[in-house]
Amino acid sequence: MEKREYYSRDYDFAEIEMDPRFLQCRKEMYISFSTWLAFTAISIAVAYGLGKGPVEEYKYILGLPQWWFAVIVVSVVFTFIVIFLSLFVFQDMELSDTAGTGGEKKG
């Protein structure tokens, strides 16, 4: 293909085939957003659920209020979830315009 043909705008969108990398990236985007949404919802629920009430009635774990300690535990758990996702679920892909599907998993 010549450079002139490569940059041509004379085509129909129906003729363009979907790159499988876009489909994989879309799946990974949904996974990432869902993970973030779950982390945010659980962190807020734990903080508000355990942190309500008067300060005098707080329970302490390792010198931290129970709600703060629980949020730290949730953060550590989700850190491991993100590490798992990035190593075993998300795929490395070639970013050039003529690349294949990638298909190789990290790890």
Total-model pTM: 0.74
Distance spanning both ends of the chain, measured CA to CA: 36
Nearest to 91 by CA among 75, 103, 74, 76: 103
* 3-state SS, one letter per residue, for 3-14: HHHHCCCCCCHH
Predicted confidence at residue 17, as pLDDT, reads 82
pLDDT bracket for residue 18 (50, 70, 90): confident
